[in-house]
Amino acid sequence: MAAHTIYYGTIIHSVSIEQVDIIQNGVLVVDATGIIVHVERDVADIKEFLDKQPYRDVEIHSLGAEQFLMPGFVDTHAHAPQYMFAGSGMDCQLLDWLEKYVFPCESAFESTDHALEAYQKVVARFLSNGTTTCSWFATIHLEACKKLVDIVHQLGQRAFVGKVNMDQNAPEFYIESTQSSLKDTRAFIEYVQSKETTLITPVVTPRFAITCSSALMNGLSQLAKEYRVPIQTHLCENHDEIDFTCELFKSKDYTSVYDNHHLLNERSYMAHCVHMSDEEIDLLAQRKTGVAHCANSNFSLHSGVCDVRRFLAKGIKVGLGTDVAGGFSPSMLDAIRSTFFASKTQKIIHRDNGKNNDYVPLKTNELLFLATLGGAQVLGLQDQIGNFEKGKSFDALWVDLEGGSIDLMGGESMDQKLEKFLFNGNDQNLKHVYVQGGKVSSRK
């Protein structure tokens, strides 16, 4: 294995939510540990570059004229077991969908053999779609959750993995006691940490407030504090869910329920957040809690249209999530496109309601940011991944525009080629997928 791997060609990444940096004739140098050690633009001749640098034991990869490198996608919210029925139940709303599809499906993961077969497929599928980092919900079953961690580790994905917790308002065939939920969560956290890998992080995962007692949520917040691990859950996804939660906990709003149980902090992130008051958004901002925006799921389960600009205006961290299987696609390209349509719909809503005819939908540079560096910020990984800054891990996609469903007509600028990939591309355009410098998926 070479001491350094050098990639030479076009490099595209987000510097900020406002700026996409397109580096022509770029050189990106990755060391043997998968860390980016050098980035340079406008290199006319790679041999002349090497003559001036100390890199001697190198492996050089030159990208083609219609190829480029970009950061790997960060999916901030997905349910690994639900990939079993992705695309089903799109006629239901959230609470009915959970009863009819989710709970029966997830209960089957009591079988570790079933979990092993299913999780192999889902993690491999997400990697082939360019999801180098994913935040996973698993199920309530400790041993099956361990299998998901083993498979993530084996296949090389960077991941946050959570054992789901639920001790109330769930069917008898799929529920746990408060004590066993906390005991198994502790055991799961310690199992993940025993792997001694920087690629996998345990995340405390109450399903949502409806299925978690106060005792359970308080216990989970204590575990998160004790082990210094993040917290993920669902928030304000559906009107019926919100009404049920507020009545159940006698709370003025949904967000306060989590805050009262110490589940909101700078390492927490909430999925959906479709229907929130200004006061609730201010609370998220105060707690420095992130948001996983899942536009496909919000449309598919009739939940609503989340206005991402409300969060961005308050300085809240926002990333994108596929929310498989509420969202029917495992592709972050679909998440980008669904987010695009949700933002366009918000403009229509603002115009028709006479709120603000100047509402600006999300632009391409913002969509790319949310799918990469924005997601990294939500997960607290912004110093490790999300773009190609020196010192970060090489989590990357080698995009080949001459394949898949893209037709290049000639004369496109690099901005246009990026847009063609984001709006017309698919997994067939991903020549290679890398995590920490290692190739985790490839198309020959």
Nearest Cα residue to 420 out of 12, 49, 2: 12
Delimit the CATH 2.30.40.10 region(s) of the chain.
Answer: 4-71+387-442
In 10 A of CB 243, how many CB atoms?
Answer: 11
Q: 209 near 256, Cβ under 8 Å?
A: no
The number of C-alpha atoms within 13 Å of 83 and in the hemisphere containing its C-beta is 24
353 pLDDT band, cuts 50/70/90, is: confident
Find out whether 165 and 216 touch, Cβ atoms under 8 Å.
yes
Strands 20-31 and 36-40: what pairing? antiparallel
Burial (CB < 10 A; 0-12, 13-18, 19+), residue 387, is: buried
> Which residue ranges does the chain devote to CATH 3.20.20.140?
73-379
CATH superfamily of 4-71+387-442: Urease, subunit C, domain 1 (2.30.40.10)
Per-residue pLDDT of 269-299, as tens digits, reads: 999 999 999 999 999 999 999 999 999 999 9
Distances (CA, A) of 123 to 78, 258, 330: 11, 30, 10
Render pLDDT for 213-258 as a digit per residue (tens, 0 to 9): 999 999 999 999 999 999 999 999 999 999 999 999 999 999 999 9
Beta bridge partners of 438: 435
Would the pLDDT of 199 be above 70?
yes
CATH homologous superfamily of 73-379: Metal-dependent hydrolases (3.20.20.140)
Structure tokens that stand for 400 in this block: 């080949």
Contact 284, 315 (CB under 8 A): no
pLDDT reading at 308 higher than 90? yes
Phi, psi of 12 (to 5 degrees): -130, 130
Mean pLDDT of 44-59: 91
Report d(CA 358, CA 362) in Å as an integer. Answer: 13
Residue 443 Cα to chain centre, angstroms: 23
Tell me the pLDDT tens digit for each residue of 125-142: 999 999 999 999 999 999
Give me the pLDDT at residue 356, please.
Answer: 66
* pTM of the model as a whole: 0.98
pLDDT for res 195: 96
Average pLDDT of the segment spanning 184-206: 98
